[in-house]
Structure 1
Amino acid sequence: MRYFFHFICFCIIHTLCLLFVIKMFISEFLPAVIPVFGVGLVRFVNGLCTGYGNLAGTCYTRRQCRNANGVASTGCARSIGVCCVITRTCGQSSQINNTYFVSPGFPTAYSGAGVCTFTIQKIDADVCQVRIDFLTLRLAQPNTSGSCITDALVITGGASTVPILCGENSGQHMYVDFNGNTNIVISIGTTGAIGRAWNIKVTQINCNCPTKAPSGCLQYFNRTTGTVTSFNYGLAATQGGTRQLANQNYGVCIAMIRGYCGITWSQTNTLSFGVSGDTYTAIGDNSVGTITAEMFGVNCLTDFIVIPSPVLTNPSFNTDRFCGNGFATVTSNSKPFVLTVVTDANELNDMGNVGFSLNYAQTRCPVITTT
């Protein structure tokens, strides 16, 4: 009886070891859909997964991940596959979704000079758009006229013109439509031995995906409340200079949520709106953030935001253009919900401008009662 028990234990251990070897063989060498012993199929989708550092990855076999020059981290598909995180740096390209474009040596600051390019290749014909998330984007600040002359991020190849960026833009995002099958290229030019760093996530979006941004929307938000900030927004503008970037002209769109009919825009705080004029003077005389420092209508010719058909507390403010160093809360029932940002080519006369940070809140549709 004792020998029989030992034999059974040996068989169980041998079987478990064999199954483990088979699983490792599957993960290492075979594709995601494979026959096993000619009887059944082991299947798993090359879908989204979470890898090391909570980075988004793709569920691959180990061999697929190695061929993609990715980093295998946590297991996926019941540990048959691995969550493969794809990172690329200067001079490289990717045709894989959820790719991260990082500065050389990231997260260590990069002080090199030159042009670093990354090419986004469309996965297939069903893809229409990319979302570009600046998880980290720290570049040199613009000069006193708001131009990006020391560092500059330029995106080309898309279906529309994308504004040039520099400064601090961590947490910002963009949507860029593909122009047919043309590759989209992100180029970051750097000069001077200063510390900068970037980690940019690129997500390709299917043409029929509900999260796809409408055409003409550089930024897109899909919640009932949130905060929109201009690129390089910051409360600490360089003395004698500006954080506001020149030559900006883009649309910020808010998805219309069912049951909501309007949208209200308001300052994040009293210092969160400075898009034209001398912000330092407004701070000095305590008018910053008040209607005294607000400008609108025909007074906004160079740098301004546009909110279509706003409803204002004061009927004399019947305009859709706003600038200056203060912003009065407005509500718009115009659809779709869009905020347009415009700056001219020269910010020299706009001392200390920080850009803007505005809260938005969608307002519910009125309840219609019948009698």
Structure 2
Amino acid sequence: MSKYFQLFLATTLIMLLQQHSRACDELAPFSRQQPSADYFNPWLPFYYRPNAMIPDYAEFDTPFIENFLIDTGNNVDEGNNQMEGRSILGDLGANLINAGLYNNRFTPRNNFRPFANLANRIPFSLNPNILNNPLANFDACTGTSDESGICTSGSSCTVFGGLPNGSCTLGRVCCINKVTKCGSTVTLNNTYWQSPSTTTSAASTCTLTVSLDTKLREQKKPVCQIRLDFVSFTTAQPTAGTCTDTFQVGGASTVVPIICGDNAGQHMYFDVPSSATTPTDVQLMFSFAAGTVTPSWNIKIAMLPCGATYLAPKDCLQYFTSATGKIKSFNWQDVASTATRQLNNQKYNICFRTELLSGSEANEMCVSVCSVKNGGDAFSITTVPAFPPGNLDTNAISYAATLSAVGTTIHYNPPPDTVVNAVCLYDYLIIAGARDATGIEADRYCGNALNPFPVGNAYYYYYSSTAGGLPTSIQVCTSIRPFKLTYQTDGTEAAIVSVPVNSNTPIAAAADTANTGFCIDYLER
């Protein structure tokens, strides 16, 4: 604020108060709930009470967006998303008054203080510490390098070990906090955890603790959820689907699967015990086997407050908030490979916010496999059995790496010598209510193509080339809301052998061959 504008405000206020000083001295402070009809309030022409809806902050990048001059918990009702009315000068005027900006314009010898009690007479939401306490708010911000940070003073940024990268209001800086050491503890929202510059070839671990506690000044609101964004993530590839280098999360309420490999661009949400109830430490941990590739990572850690509108639904490890997008299983890459990239022991939900399209909610979501340019396989979750035409002997069964499959089992050999073989029983993707353009519907998908065509019984395909599904992927759509996918893999890519069949033995399944996982494009409409 320029000195001329400050002088203008001061002069205007003096003139108003001189005209009505006697009335102001005799009357009680102004009440915005019940203003006196007999009281001439010089601020009344500036007062308004908007009924605007507070917008939803769907992007996780701004989990602590709030008015930087308003004490939290008083002025915004997240239950009905209504704004309180306030003076057009807003909290800025009150804080400038409380900070003595006007009063200090008078010399110490002058005892005349016309603005000494003015803040008590004006319907402002007061936050008298904002100018004296740079830690009063930690709004999210984006620096000049497009990295997320928090707004604070330059000195506070230095104390926290961050680097200024851009500016915020009130002379604050956008502080980007980065941690590059193992064994560190972080308490700031939007912290980046980066791999150390020095690595070792011996077996080792690298951990980071995320401390959640409402007693910490930098955590103004209780935290109920954490989102991790893998800006970069490279570790050794799995062996037959099992990670040798591992990344895992401890201390979360949500069960987070162990991952490894290539995961740049992926994200995770997980619930944590509310820090309003008890302080919580969440551990992020890498474990490395000896002699593996040099690992590297850059993980953004966002702390999401309880009750925020942008939290992921319960038990959703991934959450997408746009009408179109791409979903990939962890470690899926568009690369030609003869090794298994699909990870074992993946059990999680992928959820989607129902978007508004042309003023109304989407009523359908359609999915189809991604296009690939570098030899990758966009859908490869299990290996489907195939049968030579005219030969149903169990010894003649083979397994094709090109067919789709649905359901859980396939039968071959005619009754009563029926043999059951599992298809989408151990590794699968569930899309509830999904059907193709002809109305063929299936919930559980696997194989090497996304197609609801039924696998059927090998006996009825005696003269066909296969008893599996089809080798082509097509689009399938579901109208079941909320839109959700469920992905699961078991703990092995090896064959599951069934001993003499009884209720206590598993259903036999063939060994999987170089499964890659999936890459899917989705569209709400």
Of 161-170 and 55-64, more deviation after overlay is shown by: 55-64
* Amino acid aligned to 2:343: L
Query: What is the aligned counterpart of 1:255 among 327, 347, 353?
Result: 353
CA spacing shift, 1:257–1:128, aligned 2, 3 Å? same
| Residue aligned with 2:155, SS | helix
Conservation of the 8 A alpha-carbon contact between 2:384 and 2:404:
no
Pairing 1:179–2:273 present: yes
| Residue aligned with 2:383, SS | coil
CA spacing shift, 1:214–1:52, aligned 2, 3 Å? same
Cα root mean square deviation, aligned = 2.5
CA spacing shift, 1:248–1:361, aligned 2, 3 Å? same
Tell me the equivalent position of 1:163: 257
Report matched runs for 1:276-315 at 5 Å. 276-277=382-383, 293-298=403-408, 299-315=423-439
CA spacing shift, 1:210–1:187, aligned 2, 3 Å? same
Tell me the equivalent position of 2:378: 272
Provide the rounded CA distance (Å) in 2 between the counterparts of 1:110 and 1:46. Answer: 37
| Residue aligned with 2:314, SS | coil
| Residue aligned with 2:145, SS | helix
Could you give the per-residue CA deviations for residues 172-193 of structure 1, whole angstroms, max 9, x where no partner exists? 0000111244221100011234
From the CA coordinates, give the structure whose radius of gyration is larger.
2
Tell me the equivalent position of 1:136: 232
Cα offset for 1:132?
A: 0.5
Provide the rounded CA distance (Å) in 2 between the counterparts of 1:134 and 1:90. Answer: 17
* Amino acid aligned to 2:262: E
Greater relative contact order: 1 or 2 (C-alpha under 8 angstroms, separation 6 or more)? 1
Could you give the per-residue CA deviations for residues 263-296 of structure 1, whole angstroms, max 9, x where no partner exists? 00111137311111179xxxxxxx97xxx71111
Which 4+ stretches in 1 moved above 6 angstroms?
none
Tell me the equivalent position of 1:82: 173
Could you give the per-residue CA deviations for residues 310-361 of structure 1, whole angstroms, max 9, x where no partner exists? 223455x432000000013211111110000000100232222111011111
Report matched runs for 1:4-15 at 5 Å. none
Pairing 1:319–2:415 present: no
Report matched runs for 1:1-371 at 5 Å. 35=99, 39=103, 43=131, 45-51=137-143, 53-77=145-169, 80-88=171-179, 89-105=181-197, 113-122=203-212, 124=214, 126-144=222-240, 146-149=241-244, 151-180=245-274, 181-193=279-291, 194-236=293-335, 238-239=337-338, 241-258=339-356, 259=360, 260-269=362-371, 271-277=377-383, 293-298=403-408, 299-315=423-439, 317-328=440-451, 329-348=475-494, 349-363=511-525
Provide the rounded CA distance (Å) in 1 between the counterparts of 2:231 and 2:268. Answer: 12
- Structure 2: 5+ residue stretches without partners: 1-94, 105-127, 215-220, 386-399, 409-422, 452-474, 495-510
Give the total of aligned pairs. Answer: 314
Conservation of the 8 A alpha-carbon contact between 1:278 and 1:353:
no
Could you give the per-residue CA deviations for residues 54-91 of structure 1, whole angstroms, max 9, x where no partner exists? 2111111122112111122333225x222211112310
Could you give the per-residue CA deviations for residues 103-122 of structure 1, whole angstroms, max 9, x where no partner exists? 102xx887564111111122
| Residue aligned with 1:63, SS | helix
Could you give the per-residue CA deviations for residues 240-276 of structure 1, whole angstroms, max 9, x where no partner exists? x300000000000010113211100111137311111
Provide the rounded CA distance (Å) in 1 between the counterparts of 2:144 and 2:371. Answer: 36
Conservation of the 8 A alpha-carbon contact between 1:278 and 1:351:
no
Provide the rounded CA distance (Å) in 2 between the counterparts of 1:262 and 1:324. Answer: 24
Of 181-190 and 37-46, more deviation after overlay is shown by: 37-46
- Structure 1: 5+ residue stretches without partners: 1-32, 280-286, 364-371
